[in-house]
Each structure stands twice: as structure tokens, then as C-alpha cells.
Amino acid sequence: MDKIVVEGGVPLRGSVDVSGAKNAALPVIAAALLAEGDHVVRNVPDLADVRTLGKLLGHMGCAVERSAAARAMSLRVPAAVRPEAPYELVKTMRASVLVLGPLVARWGKARVSLPGGCAIGARPIDQHLKGLTALGAEIRLEHGYVEATAPRGRLRGAVFTFDGQTVTGTENVMMAAALADGRSVLRNCAREPEVADLAAALVRMGARIEGAGTDELRIEGVSTLRPLDHTVIPDRIEAGTFLVAGALPGGDVTVAGCVPAHLEALLEKLRAVGAEIAEVRGGLRVVGDGRPRPVDVKTAPHPGFPTDMQAQLMVLLCLAEGSSKITETVFENRFMHVQELQRLGGDIAVDGKIAIVKGVPVLSGAPVMASDLRASAALVLAALAARGTTEIQRVYHLDRGYERIEQKLAPLGARIRREKT
């Protein structure tokens, strides 16, 4: 197992490139199941989660190849696959559930392990199942698996309203509706850029989808789709993590290749803490001057402040001149980084969904443990800001969502390295 060692207290300066978005690549790779033939997904980050999904498609009978140089994944999807996602693969990555919609839409049956709980909360998939049921799927839960069948092999279009906004739920039902008989209207859909990117990929495959990026998707089902060739959008959460690094006192970081429009809620908060932000060619430059000002933040579905940036912003607020209130409304248990930030000297009190962060002038390095993906990113940021040495254990969480983070941060002046434990 690896650990990350950081000698902190050095402000970051320079330019860093953003990789393709994990959460856009995963649904687009799953969408390949909707059409027979040779698919190419470009700008795919080399991450553990992407490899797991590749393995899952391989298990089903697809030929999956990754070209590191081209940052692409090629998939050959045969006429028939084994429509099954086993527990061993799903348990390591909840997003495996994204194969459910494509499988049942294309082959009329699917057997996908229930993902179970995860560190950030219960994370049910009831809305995925309700949406697929509305499209005519018959769903049984047996032996820990979702068994879904489409009567006579085809789903049928329907009007469906999600009870609450769900990113992968919207993606699953949208993919299924793209191959259903007739018209679907999906309401209260997630509006995240990753959902819109999947819709764009599906449209290029021949799907008829209107309303991408809004909360209502209107989908005219088609009988077959063609293979996809799609370039996934830049990772707004990776970009956001680097922007926070630049906003730390003394920082001056240009995040190249990001899409400012995807980052508005974060940029608003970064400006509020006093960071200077400028759009530069092909990216954003952020300059963090002195200590940040405190701000209140409430996470919400897009275009609200992303829950996936909550932990990272908390690091900045740990150093603010005053008290900030962070309210987490998307997940029930997403303050696990708090305990570890306290070990670094953060003054944070949590009461249910609310964290009160009292800024301190300095953080100090200590051994810490990563608990989930975004919590790990927050620990890296805190370690960069802290005086002294921080060792972060359980780096595999970080590797699920950040490509070579130490190699991207080192050229900015970070004293960061990976070591075997």
C-alpha cells in the first residue's frame, strides 16, 4: 500500500493540466453497451475506477483496450454479452450500477449486484429502479442482486419524475430510454455537466435526446444506436481541487484545460474568500493572497455548490480569519475528513449536516488517514498548507479519482512524494 508524504508550507506556483472527468468517463464507457461494434472514448483518465469498469465490461464479453499515449479506451462490444455485474466488481465501485440501464435496454435482461453502503452514506439506488420500472422493466431483488427484465425484450417510453435529483440515476434511466420503444419525458433530472456530456455522447450514437443540462429530458427512443467516438469533458472536481490549492495563502496557480462555466459555484466562493481569479487562455488563474475570509457554503445539486468540493473548500476555511458554516445537504455522512483535519490543527465542530469551521493562522503536519476520495484530496491540500510533514495513509482512495496527483503538484513547487508503506 502507498502513502503520500508532504512537507508543507510552500505556496504553489505554476500551471497544471486537468485530466478527463472520471464521472463523465464512467457513464460514457457504460453507454458503449448500447451499441454493437467498435467504440472509442477519448480523454479518459487513468484511474482505478475506470479500470474497474473496463474489467466489468471485459467480464461481460467486451474487448477493452486502453491506449495510455492516446488517453483513450477502445471497446469492442459484441452482438451478445453476459449481462451480469458481479458483486466482486460492484463492491469496489458503486458506479458499476451504470451498466444496469444499458443492459436491460439492449438485451432485455440484466443481473447487477446491489452496491451496498459506502463511506459517505447509504446511497440507495431506488430512483434508478423506479425509473427503469416506469420504462416497463420488471425488477426483482434476489440474493443481493437486481434482476431486471424487459417483457418481450424491449423497454417502452414513459413519463417519469425522479423523487430527488440523482446523477447516476438520471444517467441510467436516460441510457435505457434512448433504446426504448416510444417517447420518454424524464423530470427532476440531475443537471450536472457529466449528465449533459453523456447526453451529447448518446446523441452522437444516434439517440434523440432534448433538454440535456436541464431538469427535463425528452427522449424519442430509437431501435438501434451506432458505436460512439467521444471525448469526455475535463474533470471539474480535479480542476476545483487545484483551484483551491492556488487559493491557499501565497498561491498562484493556473489550471489549464478546465471549463470555467462548470465551476461557477466554486469560483463564487473562491472570490468571496478573497482569491483573485482570472480567465486566461484555456483555463483559470487563481491567486491566493493573505489569509482567506470566512464564507458560508451549502452543498446542493448542480448548479449549486458541489458536494465533491466540500472537503477541499473546508481546508481553505480552516485557515480563514473568522468562522464559516458548511452545510452538507447531498450526502448524510460526508464530514469524515473533519477528524483528520483536526489532527492537523483545524478547529471544526460538526453537528449533523453542519460544520462550523473557526479559522486558525496555521495548520501543522501530522500522520492522517484518508477515508474517501474527496476527503483524501482535502488532506493533500491541508498537508500542502501545513507546516512540517504530513503522511497520508490509504492513498488508494485518492487514486480512484486523481491521476498521479503527486506528479501534477510537484512541478508547482509542492514537496510531495509517494512511498510504499
269 lies in the site for ligand EPU, by CB under 6 A: no
Q: SS3 of 266, please?
A: helix
Closest approach, Cβ 133 to ligand EPU, in A, equals 12
Closest approach, Cβ 128 to ligand EPU, in A, equals 5
Nearer to ligand EPU, 271 or 353 (CB): 353
Active-site option among 118, 189, 258, 318: 118
Rounded Cα gap, residues 115 and 393, in angstroms: 25
Rounded Cα gap, residues 321 and 60, in angstroms: 54
Q: What are the residues whose beta carbons fall under 8 Å from the beta carbon of 69, sequence distance 6 or more?
A: none
Closest approach, Cβ 308 to ligand EPU, in A, equals 5
Residues from 119 through 138 that contact ligand EPU (CB under 6 A): 121, 123-128
Beta carbons within 10 angstroms of residue 322's beta carbon? 13
Residues from 59 through 98 that contact ligand EPU (CB under 6 A): 94-95
Nearer to ligand EPU, 62 or 167 (CB): 167
Grid cell of 143 as nine digits: 440474493
**Number of residues forming the site for ligand EPU (CB under 6 A):** 25
Q: Where are the beta strands (DSSP E) in 26-67?
A: 37-42, 63-67
Closest approach, Cβ 360 to ligand EPU, in A, equals 27
Nearer to ligand EPU, 149 or 371 (CB): 371
Grid cell of 317 as nine digits: 476555511
**265: alpha, beta or left? (left if phi > 0; alpha if psi -120 to 50):** alpha
Nearer to ligand EPU, 29 or 319 (CB): 29
Q: Of these, 4, 100, 110, 167, which contacts ligand EPU (CB under 6 A)?
A: 167
Closest approach, Cβ 126 to ligand EPU, in A, equals 5
Q: Are strands 72-77 and 283-287 parallel, antiparallel or unpaired?
A: unpaired
Nearest alpha-carbon partner for 404 in 418, 392, 390: 418
308 lies in the site for ligand EPU, by CB under 6 A: yes
Nearer to ligand EPU, 162 or 227 (CB): 162
Q: Where are the alpha helices (DSSP H) in 61-184?
A: 87-90, 100-107, 126-134, 167-178
Question: 208 φ, ψ to 5°?
Answer: -115, 100
62 is catalytic: no
Q: What are the residues whose beta carbons fall under 8 Å from the beta carbon of 330, sequence distance 6 or more?
A: 299, 300, 301, 307
193 lies in the site for ligand EPU, by CB under 6 A: no
Closest approach, Cβ 378 to ligand EPU, in A, equals 11
Nearer to ligand EPU, 128 or 269 (CB): 128
* Stretch touching ligand EPU by CB under 6 A, among 35-43, 164-172, 268-276, 286-294: 164-172
Q: Of these, 25, 26, 243, 338, which contacts ligand EPU (CB under 6 A)?
A: 26
Nearer to ligand EPU, 129 or 319 (CB): 129
117 lies in the site for ligand EPU, by CB under 6 A: no
Rounded Cα gap, residues 5 and 289, in angstroms: 26
Q: Per-residue x/- marks for ligand EPU, 219-258, CB under 6 A?
A: ----------------------------------------
**257: alpha, beta or left? (left if phi > 0; alpha if psi -120 to 50):** left
Q: Per-residue x/- marks for ligand EPU, 313-352, CB under 6 A?
A: -----------------xx---------------------
Indicate the burial class of 219 (C-beta count within 10 angstroms; 0-12, 13-18, 19 or more).
Answer: buried
Rounded Cα gap, residues 116 and 90, in angstroms: 9
Query: Which residues here bind ligand EPU, judged by CB under 6 A?
Result: 23, 26, 94-95, 121, 123-128, 164, 166-169, 190, 194, 307-308, 330-331, 373-374, 401
Which residues are part of the catalytic machinery?
Answer: 118
